[in-house]
Structure 1
Amino acid sequence: MERVEVCVRDGKLVGIVKKGIYGGRYVAFRGIPYAKPPIGELRFKDPVPPEPWSGSRDALKYGNVAVQIDVIQKSKIIGDEDCLYLNVFTTDIKSLKKRPVMVWIHGGGFFFGSGDSTLYGPDYIVKKDVVLVTLNYRLGVLGFLNLYDKVATGNQGLKDVILALHWVQKNISEFGGDSENVTIFGESAGGAIVHYLTLSPLSEGLFHKAISQSGTVTCPWALTELESCSTNKGFLLAKKLGKVTEDPKDVYEFLKMIDAKKLIETQKFLATEEERQQFLLIFTPTLDHESSNPVFPGDLTTLIHRGVKVPYLLGFTNCEGSVLLKSNFYGYITKEALSQVDSDFKLAIYPRVLTTLPKIPITLCQLRSLYFGDENISEKTVPNYINLLSDIFFFRGIMQAADIQMNNDNSGKTYLYQFSYGSETSLMKKILNTDFPGASHCEELCYLFYPDIIKELGLSVPAPDSEDYKMISRLTQMWTDFAKTGNPTPAITDLTPIKWTPLKPAGDVYDYLDIDVKPRMKTFRKGEQRWEWKNT
């Protein structure tokens, strides 16, 4: 095993040379602490920088993942509170020319996931002459408890990511990375975190470009509104564990003493049956005005409408919602559940969306007619239901973010995409066990990252002469070109045969790249899209 040493601000690290899955070699430094373990008095608090160490520290293995429910074996709790680690990958730490840096922020609904190679192996991206950083952040109640009091002000997980970006600024040059050319990118909840960071003064200057895949602040699941004691999930969690009080300090002191795995195990019981049917997320980012160092000072709507000031790339897959009804992630919708939604259509609509319907204006009855016509909600109309969920959870919010970019004079160039490559041999289809046509939520990920989990599933990576392999090459080329130059198609080549043009300011069409076997520039016309809820 060939070892490589680097010296960062906190001490010496020993990494390892790895063979890439398609040949070549790269250097991996894994399990690097970017913060003190958030345990004891630091639980529910802002992260603090790590203690330096003496001697050499092994960076050969990934650090602990955050405490979470194992999404494969749903009854099992995995991970550790001591989870604030990041990983750095590069093909050459001694490069004379500093390389662009890409920092990956994983998704998982703010309650599961990690930056390790289970899903996010570096093998594909690192070949493209960039330095890749992946990381963990606190999840669930441990990452997002907000008691609307200075004892627990929320957004701990967001502040973890911000501290990791500070670490990158201080240390990435030791790995051959350019601290003045950093791109943050993420998918789903990770895409929303990317969008949050582009808006927050706390992360200003820590990155220079941003990519949000299938998630923005404007998606209805990305923020929990201000809650009263009776609806605040922190107070409800304490109550579920035996502490009934309306004093946030009592709740904080009580939850601080409970075993971390017990907290995570109990939080899954906080959602009502109705909330479960609406795929409600329990602990998410919130307004944190009680913090002495808030992620969101002032009004969030104002921050959102200022727009993203750096070059921004965002988009979605063409069949996002199938992951909610037709995969082993959320399960496969039953006849009984469909019948329940048929008799109470409100169950199909996310709570935050329900409250906005009068402003659109559209009634539940009109909305149902728009998607289902005179048909019942049944196995026959599952594709219609998937369209509805795609629109509610993803398309409407992401297009709202695109619209804000188009109408904001100070915005950076913004590139919009739809990922439509619905390959039957897609590794993510096999991991999710979904056979629904089209590209589901997170399906593009297996073309950006090598998912190590495929070994356990007895699968192998695409053959170099396959369409899937070509998509790996194309997607990693465009994403890394964007990271290098702020333009995803700086040159017309076999891989990128078409120029991806940015959104035009204040137009009545949205130009986007349809990413498929043959990529094409297409347009969405304002006022004519299904998700605009105007055809009533």
Structure 2
Amino acid sequence: MYCFLTIFALISLKEADNLRLGDGSSGILANTKYGTISGKVFSTPSAKEFYAFLDIPYASPPIGKLRFQKPLPPEPWKEVLNATENTKICWQLRLRSEKVENDPRENEDCLYLNVYVPKDPSENEPLAVMVYIHGGMFSFNDGTFKSYKPYNFVERDIIMVSFNFRQGPLGFLTTNDSVIPGNVGLWDQNIALKWVQQNIEAFGGDPKKVTLMGHSSGAVSVTFHMLSKQSAGLFSGAIAESGAGIHQPKLQSFPKYFAYKLAHAIDPKMGEHNSSAELLAFLLSVSPSIISNITKLYMKGDLRFSNPVIRFADLASRYVDVYFYQFSYFGEMNANRDVLDEEGLGKAAHCAELPYLMYYEMDGDTKTYPKSDIRMRHILSDLFANFIKYQNPTPKRDSRLQNIIWPKLNSNTLLYLDIDDNLTIKENPRYYRQCRTIFDKYYEHPLTQLN
């Protein structure tokens, strides 16, 4: 059964027999289904040590004829694989400047994941697992240690897994037939979840206690996997932050049109007079950097967050346990504070809470932040960790969480937790009840378009 904190959902660890300290030359070793890997010891800012295994291949490189195709499992290896550094990310859309150079790590061979394991967990049991899907409009960002740090989770005895997946046209282009099947970025995520099920015990994790978590487009992905039969049984809980699978911009009604539009933007001779096979042959001959960045011609859209997120939570609450929250806290640590410089724009921007959870866009040094921000980091991390471990963000009254008991959402009450200096139970987020009738009457139901 799925539970989720809005939108939310869930796992535990011991030092497993096949996770062992090697000698000085081989480092920390773990035996996966595909071969042995060597990691290293990292430390959190509070000096808690954890094991880090970076750039583990979870699929075969999607290069050559595998471009635009569903991922295949990785080939086994015989020698110990060095998994101590992030060296590759998937191709990115350039957002800010035409003059920005490509990241040297960008590569079509990019389907790698990272596993972060608490070194000395407090309990001698398989640990809870959180698999994180990064955001970025399905067009940019990555799952590397530099981007999303596991400190708050390993400190709470949770294994964290993060990964790259194909984005932009390389991940989501389709001809609406078997030539370019489409949504291969979501299939990358699916095979990563299967890898976790097959291998997480090698790191002391419990495959029956996997929580899938994502932010923004990563949250949209989370809700897609909740709806997909292909991902059934691969996780037991879900946390969707600021995104849901009924975001209209995430679903294309005419995907084949955009595939030809992409090809035409690269070469005006290409058009709908060409067959799907001709289109594929042309796109296989083009540099991935050109394909990735041509998305700026058509991938932009009006991202609508609040109503679709609440709507998804409302619908899901009829079938599963849902915990809904709104992050209202406005601190120095908030991401995108500059968006709110203008008076009247509210307190928390999109992505505001990520630094409190992931050290997002931070170097890990918290000494310059006020005590209230550090307090909020502990509150938010405890709520998330409780849900991941117990499928309940407040399993008991806790003075650190202001003795609050977070109620489940239902369509009648629409109760939610407002996360601010004070934790407060409120009703009817964003006046959703008043908007719901209009929403149901006029909003195009995009789930009928899912491929």
Pairwise same-fold verdict (TM > 0.5): yes
RMSD: 2.4
Asked whether 1:402 is paired with 2:313, we answer yes
Report if aligned partners of 2:416, 2:429 keep a CA contact under 8 Å in 1.
no
Asked whether 1:197 is paired with 2:225, we answer yes
Asked whether 1:426 is paired with 2:333, we answer yes
- Write the letter of the residue equivalent to 1:446: P
Task: Give the deviation of 1:265 after TM superposition.
Answer: 2.4
Q: 2:80 aligns with which of 56, 65, 76?
A: 56
Task: Give the deviation of 1:269 after TM superposition.
Answer: 2.9
| CA 1:31–1:440: 2 relative to 1, 3 Å | same
Report if aligned partners of 1:462, 1:469 keep a CA contact under 8 Å in 2.
no
- Name the SS of the counterpart of 1:128 in structure 2: coil
Task: Give the deviation of 1:69 after TM superposition.
Answer: 2.7
Asked whether 1:87 is paired with 2:102, we answer no
Query: Partner residue of 1:523?
Result: 427
Separation (CA, whole Å) in 2 of partners of 1:88 and 1:99: 13
| CA 1:13–1:434: 2 relative to 1, 3 Å | farther
Asked whether 1:217 is paired with 2:122, we answer no
Separation (CA, whole Å) in 1 of partners of 2:430 and 2:111: 43
Query: Partner residue of 1:354?
Result: none
Query: Partner residue of 1:236?
Result: 261
Task: Give the deviation of 1:527 after TM superposition.
Answer: 6.8
Query: Partner residue of 1:496?
Result: 401
Alignment of 1:443-522 (within 5 A): 443-451=352-360, 453-455=361-363, 460-462=365-367, 466-497=371-402, 498-504=404-410, 506-507=411-412, 509-522=413-426
Task: Give the deviation of 1:208 after TM superposition.
Answer: 0.2
- Write the letter of the residue equivalent to 1:240: A
Query: Partner residue of 1:140?
Result: 168
Task: Give the deviation of 1:435 after TM superposition.
Answer: 3.0
Separation (CA, whole Å) in 2 of partners of 1:117 and 1:439: 25
- Name the SS of the counterpart of 1:414 in structure 2: strand
Unaligned runs of 5+ in 2: 1-23, 440-451
Q: 1:69 aligns with which of 88, 93, 96?
A: 93
| CA 1:12–1:495: 2 relative to 1, 3 Å | same
What TM-score comes out, normalization by structure 1 length? 0.71
Alignment of 1:3-402 (within 5 A): 3-71=27-95, 75-78=100-103, 79-92=106-119, 96-227=124-255, 232-242=257-267, 243-244=270-271, 245-270=273-298, 279-280=300-301, 350=302, 393-402=304-313
| CA 1:433–1:218: 2 relative to 1, 3 Å | closer
| CA 1:93–1:202: 2 relative to 1, 3 Å | farther
Q: 2:322 aligns with which of 401, 408, 414?
A: 414
Task: Give the deviation of 1:464 after TM superposition.
Answer: 8.4
Please give the per-residue CA displacement for 1:317-370, whole angstroms capped at 9, x wherever unaligned: xxxxxxxxxxxxxxxxxxxxxxxxxxxxxxxxx4xxxxxxxxxxxxxxxxxxxx
Report if aligned partners of 2:38, 2:84 keep a CA contact under 8 Å in 1.
yes
Q: What count of residue pairs does the alignment treat as equivalent?
A: 404
Separation (CA, whole Å) in 2 of partners of 1:220 and 1:183: 25
| CA 1:482–1:510: 2 relative to 1, 3 Å | same
Please give the per-residue CA displacement for 1:419-449, whole angstroms capped at 9, x wherever unaligned: 00111x125236x675355110011111111
Separation (CA, whole Å) in 2 of partners of 1:107 and 1:269: 20
Separation (CA, whole Å) in 2 of partners of 1:399 and 1:427: 22
- Name the SS of the counterpart of 2:60 in structure 1: coil
Query: Partner residue of 1:438?
Result: 347
- Write the letter of the residue equivalent to 2:409: L
- Name the SS of the counterpart of 2:350 in structure 1: coil
Please give the per-residue CA displacement for 1:436-489, whole angstroms capped at 9, x wherever unaligned: 5511001111111123x434xxx9425687111111111111111111111011
Please give the per-residue CA displacement for 1:202-249, whole angstroms capped at 9, x wherever unaligned: 00000000011000011222211234x5xx221011112222334111
- Name the SS of the counterpart of 1:266 in structure 2: helix
Task: Give the deviation of 1:260 after TM superposition.
Answer: 0.5
Report if aligned partners of 1:69, 1:76 keep a CA contact under 8 Å in 2.
no
- Write the letter of the residue equivalent to 2:333: S
Separation (CA, whole Å) in 1 of partners of 2:184 and 2:351: 25
Task: Give the deviation of 1:267 after TM superposition.
Answer: 2.6
- Name the SS of the counterpart of 1:31 in structure 2: strand
Report if aligned partners of 1:67, 1:260 keep a CA contact under 8 Å in 2.
yes
State the structure with bigger RCO (CA 8 A, min sep 6), 1 or 2: 2
- Name the SS of the counterpart of 2:306 in structure 1: helix
- Name the SS of the counterpart of 1:6 in structure 2: strand
Separation (CA, whole Å) in 2 of partners of 1:26 and 1:433: 35
Separation (CA, whole Å) in 2 of partners of 1:77 and 1:521: 46
Query: Partner residue of 2:16?
Result: none
Task: Give the deviation of 1:533 after TM superposition.
Answer: 8.1
What TM-score comes out, normalization by structure 2 length? 0.84
| CA 1:239–1:465: 2 relative to 1, 3 Å | closer
Task: Give the deviation of 1:266 after TM superposition.
Answer: 2.3
- Write the letter of the residue equivalent to 2:382: Q
Report if aligned partners of 1:63, 1:83 keep a CA contact under 8 Å in 2.
no
- Name the SS of the counterpart of 1:89 in structure 2: strand
| CA 1:206–1:448: 2 relative to 1, 3 Å | same
Unaligned runs of 5+ in 1: 272-278, 281-349, 351-391
Task: Give the deviation of 1:119 after TM superposition.
Answer: 2.9
Report if aligned partners of 1:463, 1:469 keep a CA contact under 8 Å in 2.
no
Report if aligned partners of 2:49, 2:119 keep a CA contact under 8 Å in 1.
no
| CA 1:98–1:240: 2 relative to 1, 3 Å | same
